[in-house]
Amino acid sequence: MAKTLLFALLIIAISFALLAITIIIKKNGRFPNIHVGGNRAMRKRGIKCVQSQDKDARKDNPMRVSEKSS
């Protein structure tokens, strides 16, 4: 049981080390940008991520009609 657990932990440790090395070598130490806003083709089509759309929708609009009744 202990040998199997140690073997599994060794495989996981080696996997993490290899993933870290590929990230460091390929992107100069940065994680790849997989965000929709970072994709040039999506920006050309006008497609935004939900977070960006929500941020844009929450901006104050000076032309809005007040919903509060006085």
pLDDT at res. 29: 63
The domain ranges of the chain are: 2-56
pLDDT at res. 42: 84
CB 17 within 8 A of CB 28: no
Q: What is the pLDDT along the chain (70 residues), one digit of tens a residue?
A: 999 999 999 999 999 988 888 777 775 666 667 778 778 888 888 888 888 778 777 777 777 777 776 5
pLDDT at res. 52: 79
